Every structure is written in C-alpha cells, then in structure tokens.
Structure 1
C-alpha cells in the first residue's frame, strides 16, 4: 500500500509540473536592434549595423538619391533593412528608404543613403571616412554636412565654385539634411546685414538657426563655426559669415537656386576654402 501511495504521489507531482509548464510558456527570443549607436574614441557616436559594422554617407548623394553604382557598390555596399529596429538614442522619423536606379532598396538617414565600406574588415573599423573627400562616417549629430554636386542657379545656368558658368561639381557646406547654405557677400565678420529687425524678409533668405555646433565632417574644422545673435535669434556662422537658406529652394536637399540671385556671386555657397569674412 505504501508503495502504491508513493507512485501516486510521484505521478501527481509530474502532472502538476506539466500543468505548470503549460501555464508558463518560454519567453520569446530577444530581437536585436539592427541599427546601433556605437561609441568610438575618434568619432564619438556613429551609426552601425547589428554587428557593429560602420555605416557611411556619400556627399554626392545630396539630393537624396544614390550616386554610387556599378563598381562603386563593390567598394561601398549598400545598407538596407526592411524592418528597422533602432537602438536607444535614434529616432525612427530620421530613417527612410529609397529605390535606387538599379531597382534595389537602400536605407537612408536624414535623407543620406547609407553604405558600408569594403575596407572595413572588422566591426568597429572606420577606414572609409574622408576617402576621396566625399565619404564620411555616418553620425547622428552632425550640424553640418558636405555635398558635392553641380551648382544650378534659379536662372537654369550651371555654375562652378567661383560662381562662374561652368560644368564641374562643387563641394559645399549644407545642413545635416543636405540643404544648401549661403553667404551674403555684403555681410561682414559676425554681422548680418540682410535680415530686418522684424524678420519680414526672413522668408526670402531664412537665417540658419541653432543653439550650438555639435559635430562637422572630418574635412572641416569645428573651430570655423560659431553663432551670433540676430535680433533675439541665434544664427550659425562659418569663418564669421552668417549662414542662410534660400527660400526658393523650399528646404529641398540638393537645390542650389540661390547661387544666381540676383546675380552670381552675391549669395555664394560655403566652401571649405571660403575666406574669412571681412572685419567691420
């Protein structure tokens, strides 16, 4: 009798364990983020994939389309994720997707298509920054970026970096979304001579506002950027030149209509080599 009771108790315990297992199903597998913010010594926070492989911007892509095709893609493979899972500190609205001319899809960040660099053998490698002065490590906190495109004015004429008609791409400074910034040639060092106190003309040439310069592409020097007060608003400057958008560009990335208004040279784009603004 004692033996039967023992067997009964064992069976009862097994039954309870089985029921308990059914009521507590295993936890679902942890889904890893496929876009990370990785901290580096030289570059601060950079965008990487889930394995820590570094991502890059291409300055030729200022209009939001990929200018890297053919053999370029061999050296700079495209980055694409159908469903993004972002690490803390990243914002979903900053990401998008484009369809390339070759039919492939590519993930973008702040409108910049994202790439790997074939020369990065290991996670954490950043060997592609500043290659050809057109490739830059993808960072979430650029205040400024560099574009390299053909300047085309509102008059439909193509211009070179000297505001002279000509067909040659120019490397110029944009905001972090690739929107063109301009200088006003009558301005002087840290003095905005265009904007009216009531900002009634600000829609024509809006000032580029911000609080502080965070990061700039490695081809530029952060020390060349600063801010000034303009009737209670804060405007960014480069080498003392106040920085503006052109209203007719409609904040569309890659547009450079202002280079011909009202005449070429009055509102030039910012070059790395732009001279310091004259002292008042």
Structure 2
C-alpha cells in the first residue's frame, strides 16, 4: 500500500513539472529580456541619419549648437525638454573612438558626458528606442554623430579687439549662427576668394596665420546640404581644403580654443567681417572664377 501511494505521488509531481514547463514556454506569457551588456556611449545605424550616438539602451543623443565652446548652456527649464546624459562607464562599442569621449562638470556640480567636446543630451520627445525626433529643433539641436564634416555654432561673436558683435558685425550682443569644424573651431572665408579657388595661401607663412581646413566630405547637420561641400587642392602647401558653397574654409590661428571667433575683426584696419567673414548657412555662393 505504501509503495502504491509513493508511486501515485511521484506521478502527480511529474505531471506538475510538465505543466509548469509548458506554461513557461507559452509565447503568450511575458518573458524576461536578455541582459544588456552594453556600457557607455554606443553607435547605432539609422536609415535616415546614418551612424548616430546613443546611450547603452539605444536612446538617441544630441548636440546643442549653443554649446560649441564645450560649455553646457542648456540649463533650468531647458533641461525639461533636453535632459543631460552622463555615464561614468567607458564605452564597450569597439567602433567608437574612445579618445573623443569625455565629460564636463556643470556649474551646479553635475557631470555630463561629451563627444568631441560637445555635451550630450536626450530629447524628451523620444519615447522609444531609435526615435530621433529632436533633430533640427529650433535649427540648433542636432542628432549626435561621429562623422560630421561641419557643425553649427550659435554663439556670441567676440572680435580680436575684444568687442562683441551681432550677426551683421555691428557692435552689440546677440547669438550668431556660423559654421565650425566637428570640434567647435570657427571656420572663415576669405572675401577675395573665388568659387573653388584659394587666392590667399601662397605658402607656409599664410598657412601659419590662416590654416586651411582639411576634411573629407562626410556628413553635415540637417540644416545644411551635403551637396554644398567640395574639396580643392592647395598646391602651395600640398593640402586638400574643404569648401562650402564654393568658399574655401580657413581657421584663424589666434583662435586658441574652441568657440573663439576673433578672426572677424582681422585686419583691424578694415571693417569687421569685410575680409575674413564667418560662414553660415545663409552665406551666398562664392563668385565664379
């Protein structure tokens, strides 16, 4: 009798195990997602924007044109729509250039991750992984990418004379939109140049004062057209130079840090912007040769 009861109990237990296993394998039951082993900034591929930066869970990150100097300027109410991104973890993405990842300490003491010196943000309107709804907002917010040839700054102009200027080169204050390289360094045009023709660089002396901007044609923020970019050869210094709307692009050597735009008042004997103007999306196409 005892043996019979033990056999029945064993049979009941076996049935229970089978039922439990079946229930767990039922596709209608919620399952625990696999662990995400990603850490830090990641690269993701988007059909429209190409390669973009995300957090470890695939949420899109953004650059702010007002932060061209590398200092976070989205504060207080701005953070409601654009929360800051920070991760102390090194990126596990093998395709990301780790040397271009950094961090900055905000005025309130919080840390914020950076890429190429640009503080990184989320957009509150991105509800799902892979959403990129914040690109182009206000013409100053752009999806963070690792391959911009040009970037857009929205900042105060301050000449070599330390005076502040508006976008029309009149003394005063106000933000101006202008082009920079991918690391926030201001780019200029030389007024006498022609479409696709550098008339300034005669040799290393000129190159030392107004270095040519060398870059491959990669990608641009969505407010620009990639077709406006070109590359010319500057034979006098054996370098390639990027052009925008036909204008050869230059740095000013005395702009010692990102965000500087002192070149607009050079030379001091000429009206600001008349010889070395900043370049913007509204700049006219360079005149034909």
Taking structure 1 as the reference length, the TM-score comes to 0.86
- How far did 1:213 drift? 0.8
1:186/1:193 contact within 8 Å kept: yes
Q: Where does residue 25 of structure 2 map in the other structure?
A: none
Q: How many residue pairs get matched?
A: 249
Among 31, 40, 48, the alignment partner of 2:46 is 40
Residue number among 120, 127, 142 corresponding to 2:133 in the alignment: 127
Matches within 5 A, 1:136-155: 136-155=142-161
1:39-188 equivalent positions in 2, closer than 5 A:
39-188=45-194
Mapped contact 1:86–1:92 kept (Cα < 8 A): no
1:229 aligns with 2:238: no
C-alpha contact (below 8 Å) 1:153/1:259 kept by paired residues = yes
Per the TM alignment, residue 84 of structure 1 is displaced from its structure 2 partner at its CA by 1.8
2-structure distance, mates of 1:192, 1:107: 38
The whole-number CA distance in structure 2 between the counterparts of 1:191 and 1:207 is: 12
Cα deviation for residue 30 of structure 1 reads: 8.1
The offset of 1:36, in angstroms, is: 1.2
Q: Displacement of 1:223 after TM fit?
A: 0.6
2:265 to 245, 251, 260: 260
Distance 1:272 1:36, change over 3 A: same
- Give the Å deviation of 1:86: 3.2
Q: Tell me which residue corresponds to 1:219.
A: 223
2:212 aligned to 165, 183, 207, which one? 207
SS of corresponding position for 1:81: coil
Is the 8 Å Cα contact of residues 163 and 268 (structure 1) preserved in structure 2?
Answer: no
Residue 277 of structure 1 corresponds to 286
Q: Secondary structure at the match of 1:151?
A: strand
| Whole-angstrom CA distance in 1 between matches of 2:197 and 2:167 | 24
The equivalent of 2:22 in structure 1 is none
Consecutive unaligned residues in structure 1, runs of 5 or more: 1-28
TM-aligned CA distance change 1:30 to 1:225, over 3 Å: closer
Kept in 1: contact 2:40–2:88 (CA 8 A)? no
Gapped runs of 5+ residues in structure 2? 1-34
Distance in 2 (alpha carbons) for counterparts of 1:47 and 1:209: 24
Kept in 2: contact 1:179–1:253 (CA 8 A): yes
Root-mean-square deviation (CA), in Å? 1.2
Q: For residue 189 of structure 1, report the CA deviation from its aligned partner.
A: 1.0
